[in-house]
Amino acid sequence: MYKTELFSQSAVANRSGAPESDTGSKNGYSRGKTCFARKFAGVVAMAAVITFSAVSCGGGGGKSGLKKNKYLGNLPALVADNELAKKAYKENIDKLHETGNFDKVVKESAKMEKAEKERIKKFEADWKAELEKIETTDIPFTYSEAFKKSDLYREVSFLKLSAEKGSLHLITSVNAREDFTATSKDNDVYGQIRFRIVASDGSTPDYRYFQLYSLAWSDKRTFTKGQPINIGDRDCYLDISRNTKNWVNFSGVEFITLEEERKLIEEDRKIKD
């Protein structure tokens, strides 16, 4: 089956299928010019891998306070708790570095390493256990009024949630409503199908898209009524393992137009500014 990944494979899942904890020596301390600085940097880098150990990860009762979701269970809470742990890790590393106490770093690193390994192990186990509870199930979806009026050639056959292969996916198949011919100029219009996540209060905590196909310059492709508009006529997969924290109130999906997506992007930019 064709799989459209929202994040790179390395960023989405490790061997357990859980979103990575992003631990590693990317703290910028390894460029000291003196011998002591280099040794100190090495220890801090090691500590970077093993810190934020005191922050627990667990759905429903963790630091994030996120509740169980009807479709996603405790996965949103687990991901949110893990991100809080990563934030704590950075703060702890900064504080440790600010002490300038080389002996303290060396002395505490062994304890941190043991605790951090236990935290990561628990997170991966909790993620796997929660993922195993997710059954392949239909997800309710609708079309925006703008989509209904402007998208005359496509209709969604189904939308499902699946936990195949240790990751969380949305799966869809989009069929031709009428016969039509697509060109490379239509890639943004018909080659992708966009949707917004609908929360229980009607708000939009996230928005994404499925990549259906992409035609090279001057290429054409004709679809007949009822034919899947997916690459290779196969279902499209979208990995959502990493961003589930935004979907705690997830209640369904609304398919939207390119213009509606652009408005959501612009609203996000205003909020960030």
Instruction: Give me the residue spans of the domains in the chain.
Output: 16-133, 137-272
As given in the structure block, the two tokens for residue 269 are: 């930019």
Res 16 pLDDT > 70: no
Q: How confident is the model at residue 8 (pLDDT cuts 50, 70, 90)?
A: very low
Res 172 pLDDT > 60: yes
pLDDT of res. 18? 66
pLDDT over 90 percentage in the chain: 29
Over residues 173-194, the mean pLDDT reads: 92
Q: How far apart are CA 203 and CA 187, in angstroms?
A: 28
- CB-based burial of residue 205 (10 Å sphere; 0-12 exposed, 13-18 middle, 19+ buried)? middle
Calculate the average pLDDT of the chain.
76
Res 60 pLDDT > 90: no
As given in the structure block, the two tokens for residue 147 are: 């989509």
As given in the structure block, the two tokens for residue 120 are: 């990561």
Q: How far apart are CA 273 and CA 269, in angstroms?
A: 6
Residues sharing a CB contact under 8 Å with residue 107, sequence separation 6 or more, in sequence order: none
First to last CA, the chain: 40
Strand order in the sheet with 207-211: 141-143, 250-256, 192-199, 207-211
As given in the structure block, the two tokens for residue 188 are: 């943004």
Q: How confident is the model at residue 11 (pLDDT cuts 50, 70, 90)?
A: very low
Over residues 96-121, the mean pLDDT reads: 78
Q: Are 177 and 152 in contact (CB under 8 A)?
A: yes
Res 246 pLDDT > 70: yes
Res 145 pLDDT > 90: yes
pTM of the model: 0.70
Over residues 80-89, the mean pLDDT reads: 85
Res 206 pLDDT > 70: yes
Q: Where are the beta strands (DSSP E) in the chain?
A: 2-4, 137-138, 141-143, 154-162, 169-176, 180-183, 192-199, 207-211, 220-223, 236-239, 250-256
**% helix, strand, coil for the chain, step of 5:** 40, 20, 35
Q: How far is CA 22 from the centre of its chain?
A: 13
Residues sharing a CB contact under 8 Å with residue 132, sequence separation 6 or more, in sequence order: 163
More confident: 61 or 163: 163
pLDDT of res. 17? 55
Q: How far apart are CA 259 and CA 69, in angstroms?
A: 30
Q: Are 64 and 245 in contact (CB under 8 A)?
A: yes
Q: Are strands 169-176 and 154-162 parallel, antiparallel or unpaired?
A: antiparallel
As given in the structure block, the two tokens for residue 116 are: 């951090």
Q: How confident is the model at residue 47 (pLDDT cuts 50, 70, 90)?
A: very low
Over residues 242-255, the mean pLDDT reads: 86
